[in-house]
Amino acid sequence: MLRNVVALVGEQAAAFELGVVAQVFGLDRSDDGLPVHEFALCGATPGPVPTTSGFCLQVTHAPERIAQADLVTVPAWPQLERNPPEPLLEALREAVARGARVLSVCTGAFLLASAGILDGRRAATHWQFAGRLARLHPRVQVDSAVLYVEDGPVLTSAGAAAGIDACLHLVRREHGAATANALARRMVVPAHRAGGQAQFVEMPLPEARAGYGMTELVDWIQAHLDRPLTVEDLAAHVAMSPRTLARRFKEATGTTPHRWILDQRLQLAEELLENTSLPVEAVAARSGFGSADTLRHHFAARRGVAPAAHRRTFHAGTPPVSGEHNQARRKDRSMEIWINPACSKCRSALSLLDAEGAEYTVRRYLEEPPSVRELEDVLLRLGLEPWDITRTGEPAAGELGMESWPRDADNRTRWIDALAAHPSLIQRPIITADDGSAVVGRSPESVKSVLG
């Protein structure tokens, strides 16, 4: 259980990132029944430390204070390529060796990497600095698409506000979902955010290079993205064989025709989502995906979120006034519902979603079983444990003897593995929305609750 938390700061400390850590671990919210942590600022030496915002912090503790911490946080570390003070690095290594947790926000991962703590581990940092982290510390497995990564006792997060997600995740791990959800409500932030930082990354597309005779073809493709386009179509347009066209196109753009067209379609879809109010179905048609489901599939693979979630984040229009909020939210929100077609409650939930005009996709979990990672994610969203969504009356449960399984943290993985291997054990239907909410839709009231 986390009781003692230290935040490491250096010169030009990042005020926002430190504020995130302090909000989660440094405030006394016992009046709300939330846990209280002993919280301290630590630096290479005690004394005033300038911040990037123009004011100074008073650091009260030297590196020796880290020895008392259950959790060591590094809110950010501006000196990316400068050797950090060795006493800090040694204190970090000793903390991990004795079993303390370590959490970094944004460029705080650079300090952990300098200490060797991230060697051989997956790690996250702000997407703008992911390449530099990988270059300076090649033994670190940098993931530039996620909001945070938990690898053993080490938790690293992407830039700025992603630190909130990482801190709430750690609270959920240490104190339970109810505590994390209550803290999120107090901070007026979502308890779980959909997607990763890929949705915020600028992704330039490959351009046709001069001298390969592809410029006219590229212009023609961009003018006809709304129609089906095959390599044979492109080859016929420029009077080449498909093989010659594919070879010359890759020489000109650095990628295949299929990949290049997909990227162009995605870019057009993003522009339409951000700058128009077209329904997702119309966006899919104009960008050449044909159906909303196909657009959602490719968009989620590229950006990590559904098209409706991207629109809410980046739309250039005026936000709806308060009286229109719920209606707009319901129209734009995208959902996925896990069902067994033979289940009457699943059919009822689908009928209610249709009646409410909800935008959703269907996943038949007996045909496409959820992975262990997906189950862990949906349990976090639901605020439930795996045994809470298990149909212990199913034959598979009897064969496994699940009634006698302990319902505790030590056996949690065992329960999740069983659900992944035997999806018929899952209580159904489960509805997940792209804003991070989720319900077990066993009643009209529960289904309506996720609609907003």
- What's the token pair of residue 362? 């269907």
The pairing of strands 154-157 and 148-151 is antiparallel
Q: Give one DSSP letter per residue of 52-67, joined into a string.
A: TTS-EEEE-B-GGGGG
For 223, the enclosing helix (H) or strand (E) is: helix 215-223
Please, are residues 436 and 340 in contact by the beta-carbon 8 Å criterion? Answer: no
Question: Catalytic pick from 42, 56, 167, 343?
Answer: 343
The pairing of strands 71-74 and 101-104 is parallel
Q: How far apart are CA 145 and CA 126, in angstroms?
A: 9
Q: Is 357 left (phi over 0), alpha (psi -120 to 50) or beta?
A: left
Name residue, tokens 């006394």: 28
Please, are residues 43 and 56 in contact by the beta-carbon 8 Å criterion? Answer: no
Q: 413 Cβ partners below 8 Å, 6+ apart?
A: none
Alpha helices in 238-362 (DSSP H): 242-253, 257-275, 280-286, 292-303, 307-314, 325-332, 344-355
- What's the token pair of residue 385? 């444990």
Q: How far apart are CA 189 and CA 182, in angstroms?
A: 10
Q: How far apart are CA 188 and CA 179, in angstroms?
A: 14
Query: Distance from first CA to last CA of the chain, Å, rounded?
Result: 35
Q: 187 Cβ partners below 8 Å, 6+ apart?
A: 23, 24, 164
Amino acid at 167: C
Q: How far apart are CA 75 and CA 230, in angstroms?
A: 49
Q: How far apart are CA 264 and CA 332, in angstroms?
A: 23
Q: CA 318, 285, 327: angle at the middle one, nearest 5?
A: 35
The pairing of strands 154-157 and 101-104 is parallel
For residue 343, indicate whether it is catalytic: yes
Cβ neighbours, 10 Å, residue 87: 14
Query: Maximum distance among all alpha carbons in the chain?
Result: 75
Q: Which residues are catalytic?
A: 343
